[in-house]
Chain A
Amino acid sequence: MALTKVTAAVLEPTAVTDNISNGSISSDKIANDAISYAKLGSEFTTAATLSASDVDFSTAQVFTKTLTANDTLTFSNVSTGMVKDLVITGNFTLTLPASVKVVSGAYDGSVSNLIQIVATNGATEQWASISQEVV
């Protein structure tokens, strides 16, 4: 007898009910240009205010902080290729980990600073460029 519609009885029990996080999906099941911004994890799409001094690369894309005193930031969960944005204001001395090499720009305490961090070798080396709004 030919089936006219798919019923629960003919499905393997978990074929539909399992979501992707419970199993795996091969790349041929994902169409090109199919992953949208909405599907990205929050570590790529959210901004977080830094209340402490640790920048956890796995938690947000943009980290903001207003310095009220000299401050030393630490980095955690850094992996090669990660790019994170720090938006920092406040006319105080900001210390980044020794693994950070500043490749361009300088911090200006009188305005908001965008410090873009590119992890070029995991936690061992990151390159930073610092810029401000053009006025």
Chain B
Amino acid sequence: MIAIDLNGTIKTFSKLPKVWSDANGTHLNITDGEAFGFYPVITPELSAIEELGSIYFDSEANVFTYAINTINITETLSELKKQRIMILKESYNNLLSKTDWYITRYNELSIPIPQDISNQRAQLREECNSHEMAINNLNTKIAVIEYYF
């Protein structure tokens, strides 16, 4: 992406425009965008608690980039933990559901569950419990939001 500053208003483009008009004329086949004021747009990487702010020109790096704003977290630490654990359990429930049919088959037809499947399911439950414990031990909102499993 590229952008240009037009009298204080920054306009972005996916690529150099094929036709560009300014006070100096109507320009065709622009190859050197910087000669006309076009510079690359660099989008900064964001953490889970950040969002993009306004675009501005970084004159030192000669690029357009965005201010980074910290998201205002309104939930309490306890509420955040509850949300995160709910997502955690949904995620592991989805993983377990892939092999639920072994359990159903065993209950209905008494066909034994393969040992590797039983081990895999036990490991998933153990991992989930371990993550839940870790989340409950976190002390800051940021840590909870940025906790990945």
Taking Cβ atoms with an 8 Å cutoff, the residues of A that contact B are: 72, 91-98, 100-102, 106-109, 128, 130
Residues of A within 8 A of B98 (CB): none
Residues of A within 8 A of B22 (CB): 98
Number of A-B contacts (CB under 8 A): 54
Question: Are B18 and A98 interface neighbours, CB within 8 A?
Answer: no
Question: Are A97 and B26 interface neighbours, CB within 8 A?
Answer: yes
Distance A101 CA – B23 CA, assembled complex (angstroms)? 13
Question: Are B25 and A96 interface neighbours, CB within 8 A?
Answer: yes
Q: Which of B93-119 contact A (CB under 8 A)?
A: none
Question: Are A107 and B28 interface neighbours, CB within 8 A?
Answer: yes
Residues of A within 8 A of B18 (CB): 106-107
Distance A95 CA – B32 CA, assembled complex (angstroms)? 13
Distance A91 CA – B32 CA, assembled complex (angstroms)? 12
A94 partner, pick from B27, B32, B35, beta carbons under 8 A: B27
Distance A106 CA – B26 CA, assembled complex (angstroms)? 12
- Which of A95, A98, A101, A130 has its CB near the most chain B CB atoms (within 10 A)? A95
Q: Does B31 contact A (CB under 8 A)?
A: yes
Q: In the complex, what residue of chain A is closest to B29 when comparing beta carbons?
A: A107
Q: Which of B12-32 contact A (CB under 8 A)?
A: 18-19, 21-32
Residues of A within 8 A of B31 (CB): 91-93, 109
Q: Count contacts on B: residues with CB < 8 A to the other chain.
A: 15
Question: Are B28 and A96 interface neighbours, CB within 8 A?
Answer: yes
Distance A93 CA – B32 CA, assembled complex (angstroms)? 8
Given contacts A106-B18, A106-B19, A107-B18, contact A100 B26 (CB under 8 A): yes
Distance to closest chain A CB from B19 (angstroms): 5
Distance A72 CA – B31 CA, assembled complex (angstroms)? 15
Residues of A within 8 A of B19 (CB): 102, 106-107
B27 partner, pick from A91, A93, A108, beta carbons under 8 A: A93
Q: In the complex, what residue of chain B is closest to A88 when comparing beta carbons?
A: B28
Distance to closest chain A CB from B127 (angstroms): 55
Q: Mark B25-68, 1 if CB is under 8 A from A, else 0.
A: 11111111001000000000000000000000000000000000
